[in-house]
Amino acid sequence: MNLKDYLLLIEEISSIDLEANSIADSRRILAELNERERILNELRKSIKSDIKHVKRDFLDKRRKINQDYANGRSPGIVSRVRGKSKVKELKKLEVEHVTTVQSYQEVKYMIDDLLLQVMDAKKPLNNYIKTRLGGF
């Protein structure tokens, strides 16, 4: 899943009206929060997997660059004239990798924060239901 998809899902999940005027409203909102929590947990697993994939892809690309230069398959004469070198390729790859991983990490932090907010929102609803039903 790409970052835009994650951000769209997070935006959809984060918009919920938490005002409850009755036990039925509280239960309905609580059910919605539980569903959103489930979705967020799935997103969290998915983004962790995507981060691992990005890191693995980086290592594969770095290994390929190192192998190409070690085997004497350096870039052609045109690339040499333009200044293409192993160091430049590795540095460019590293910058792309760091930027991508940071973007995914930011989305992961957003998901984690939203999970905490959902859990915090469930507490008052549960308390409201308990007090209205005469529980303790």
CB atoms within 10 A of CB 89: 19
| Structure tokens, 129 | 């239901």
Average of per-residue pLDDT values in the chain = 88
pLDDT tens figures, 95-128: 999 999 999 999 999 999 999 999 999 998 888 8
Model confidence at 76, pLDDT cuts 50, 70, 90, reads low
Mean pLDDT of 34-41: 96
CB 129 within 8 A of CB 27: yes
Give the separation between CA 39 and CA 16, rounded to whole angstroms: 14
Given a cut of 60, whether residue 83 has pLDDT beyond it is no
Model confidence at 64, pLDDT cuts 50, 70, 90, reads very high
pLDDT of residue 49: 97
* pTM beyond 0.75: yes
pLDDT of residue 16: 82
pLDDT of residue 78: 47
Cα 75 to Cα 29, 65, 72, 96, 101, distances in angstroms:
60, 10, 9, 20, 28
Model confidence at 73, pLDDT cuts 50, 70, 90, reads low
Residue-wise DSSP of the chain: --HHHHHHHHHHHH------SSHHHHHHHHHHHHHHHHHHHHHHHHHHHHHHHHHHHHHHHHHHHHHHHHTT----HHHHHTT--HHHHHHHHHHHHHHHHHHHHHHHHHHHHHHHHHHHHHHHHHHHHHHHTT--
Residue in this structure with the two tokens 């959809």, named with its chain if needed: 12
Mean pLDDT of 62-71: 87
